[in-house]
Structure 1
Amino acid sequence: MKYGLLLPAGQAQLDAGGSTRGLVETAVEAERLGFDSVWAGDSLVRARIEPLTLLTAVAQATERVTLGTAVLMPAYRHPVHAAVTISSLDLLSEGRLVLGVGAGFPGFSEQELELVGVDFRTRFSRLDDTIALWRELWTGRPESFHGKVLHYDWLPEVPGPARPGGPPIWLGGITPAALRRTARLYDGWLPYPPDPADYATALATIRGTAPRPITPALFATVFADDDVRRGTKALDDYCRATYRMPLEAVAQIQVMMTGPDIPAQLGRFVDAGARHILLRIGAVDSATFTEQLAEVAEILSALPHRPVLEAAED
């Protein structure tokens, strides 16, 4: 089992007392506390620090933790230049990078994709083309590339990443199409379904058709508080600040955890097959986030199958 931390890099967190320097310091503290990974999100709809830039700074300040995107929107960036940027980050981190990627959501991403000149209707084909192009650029010197959406008659040489073939690429999403794509094209799976049973069923579908091992991950939002009513209020405040929606609506889509039984809630997803759980702390202001980070780390240290945290405590 591995556990990761999403860095609080949104504008809402920065406006509530956070800082860019503090984000790097949070990553260093997460490594000290024994987290296995630190992650950065990506959005044009909600202002935030650009994830590849942030992770470059984190790479220089840390030594052990995996660095991840949760999730990167490749459509925002020119595919060839993004391959150069990602390969450079992988080199700077000495091969510690994992790319979680996504293609956007109906009713949410149309405007941002229009802004960057991407046809919303072909977003998944474009994503698959982009990943295929990156892998070709990272493993050889292709003279051209022609996919369903992307077409290049000339391609430049790209710096080779630290790991042969480039960093692992995980796909977000739990729709039937996302499951088929994960099994066919990707190295890992990073969804956030509220129901562990749905997670288990979807993972079985992926494993039933995947030609290679797939890393099963989970994106979960937590607020550590033994008082369920108080913790639920904190998560509701977070959802309203982040999504402009109440917890009741967000919890229909994403897994949200609070109360005294967070270990048991995590355990149900572990039993369903999750092996790398990325935790987003549901707090906006920096003081609360710092308190929560210590409490979440304490919860994780008490769980079984935590060899990294146990080693850190020794």
Structure 2
Amino acid sequence: MDDDIRLGLVLPTGHAQWGAGAGPRALIDFAVRAEELGFDSLWAGDTLLRPVLEPLALLGALAVRTERITLGTAALLPAFRRPVQSAQALASIDQLSGGRLVVAVGAGFPNRSEREYAASEVPWQRRFARLDDTVELWRHLWTASGPSDFHGKVLHFDDLPEPLAPHRPGGPPLWLGGATPAALERAGRRYDGWLPYPPDPARYAPGLAAVRASATGAGRDPAAITPALYTTLLVTPDVASGRAALDAYCRAGYGLPLEVVETIQLLVAGPVEHIADVLRGYLSAGVTHLVCRLGAPDLPGQAGQLERIAELLPVLRGSG
């Protein structure tokens, strides 16, 4: 493997994950420690279905407490926020961080996210067109030099005021989650990165090929799209105990056993070398940025995993 591999960490933002005696401010120290250990990126999820820290608020706090590490959303659901205001919030984080923001977005999950859309007073119908319009509106605002108009398929604005420009010219990179044929096509045509979570590396390579083919068809450079992977990891003494721990994690978080969840997304537990062996299959399929959620139930448990997960990067790069 090579130095292009990046290792990111999904932050445990849920109220239930803070653990007894811990609080949300402990996440700041957790994130700073991750930067000290050499992680390349920090990521915050987005949901209205359980009590969690609002991801943009958290990333704003991290922007002024960290120095070099990339800050990202994995994944932001833009429909939950008014699009002009969210463009300003994202530009603000990019300014505060000195251009370290990456925005991965999604449109939600059928039979799950309809309730979140209703709470946001946004129709579930045409959610993908709304998502595409939102990111195009952001790009429009991030490059506008004065008042302007915007008219998409769903969103329409006249006389938009002059916006705040991000630190990075053109704005933060925009990634797309999802692996349906439509998502692959849209990722190649519109986005700067692709963040799926397939449970088998054999599914990753053809998906990435489809993304790159779509980019080529749209006249874009396919090599400019970051191939990423969202995964859940847990370092344990052996695979059997790790699978038992992940089963408890899945039952607590999803109400489903590991055997069901692992048919949908990638979860790996065991010694560092075992985890590395699994991830090498995805790196061979084209992944360059690993976005890792830690499969421990609370912040103290995840803090104990930090040093162990940090051992992955030199192993994957062939220097460990």
TM-score range, shorter chain: over 0.9
Residue 152 of structure 2 aligns with which residue?
A: 147
Contact persistence 1:16–1:284 (CA under 8 A):
no
Residue among 156, 159, 165 paired with 2:164: 159
Residue 19 of structure 1 aligns with which residue?
A: 23
**How many Å separate the matches in 2 of 1:207 and 1:11?**
39
Residue 67 of structure 1 aligns with which residue?
A: 71
Residue among 171, 187, 209 paired with 2:214: 209
Amino acid at match of 2:130: R
**How many Å separate the matches in 1 of 2:315 and 2:227?**
22
Contact persistence 2:232–2:294 (CA under 8 A):
yes
SS of 1:144 mapped into structure 2:
strand
1:290 and 2:303 matched: yes
Q: Deviations over 1:75-108 (max 9, x none)?
A: 0100000011110110000000000100001111
SS of 1:302 mapped into structure 2:
helix
TM-score, normalising length: structure 2: 0.93
Q: Deviations over 1:131-155 (max 9, x none)?
A: 0000000001352111111111221
Amino acid at match of 1:159: L
User: Which consecutive aligned stretches of 4+ in structure 1 deviate over 3 angstroms post-superposition?
Assistant: 15-18
- Displacement, 1:250? 1.3
1:231 and 2:258 matched: no
- Displacement, 1:174? 0.3
Which stretch shows the higher mean deviation, 67-76 or 114-123?
114-123
SS of 1:130 mapped into structure 2:
helix
Amino acid at match of 2:56: L
Residue 175 of structure 2 aligns with which residue?
A: 170
SS of 1:154 mapped into structure 2:
strand
Q: Note the residue ranges of structure 2 that are not aligned, 5 or more in a row.
A: none
Alignment of 1:93-108 (within 5 A): 93-108=97-112
The structure-2 alpha-carbon separation of the partners of 1:142 and 1:187, relative to structure 1 and needing over 3 Å to count, comes to farther
Residue 141 of structure 2 aligns with which residue?
A: 137
Contact persistence 2:12–2:298 (CA under 8 A):
no
Query: Aligned pairs, how many?
Result: 307
Residue 9 of structure 1 aligns with which residue?
A: 13
**How many Å separate the matches in 2 of 1:273 and 1:17?**
41
Residue among 240, 260, 274 paired with 2:287: 274
Contact persistence 2:175–2:192 (CA under 8 A):
yes
**How many Å separate the matches in 2 of 1:187 and 1:305?**
28
Residue among 178, 191, 195 paired with 1:190: 195
Amino acid at match of 2:16: A
Alignment of 1:40-119 (within 5 A): 40-119=44-123
Residue among 112, 121, 124 paired with 2:125: 121
SS of 1:55 mapped into structure 2:
helix
- Displacement, 1:305? 5.7
SS of 2:95 mapped into structure 1:
helix
SS of 2:58 mapped into structure 1:
helix
What percentage of residue pairs aligned between the two structures are identical?
54
- Displacement, 1:230? 1.1
Contact persistence 2:103–2:173 (CA under 8 A):
yes
Give the superposed CA RMSD: 1.4
Contact persistence 1:226–1:258 (CA under 8 A):
no
**How many Å separate the matches in 2 of 1:305 and 1:160?**
40
SS of 2:42 mapped into structure 1:
strand
SS of 2:259 mapped into structure 1:
helix
Residue 42 of structure 2 aligns with which residue?
A: 38
- Displacement, 1:115? 1.5
Amino acid at match of 1:39: W
Residue among 243, 247, 270 paired with 2:254: 243
**How many Å separate the matches in 2 of 1:167 and 1:243?**
31
1:300 and 2:299 matched: no
Q: Note the residue ranges of structure 1 that are not aligned, 5 or more in a row.
A: none
**How many Å separate the matches in 2 of 1:214 and 1:136?**
20
Amino acid at match of 2:160: L
**How many Å separate the matches in 2 of 1:121 and 1:229?**
43
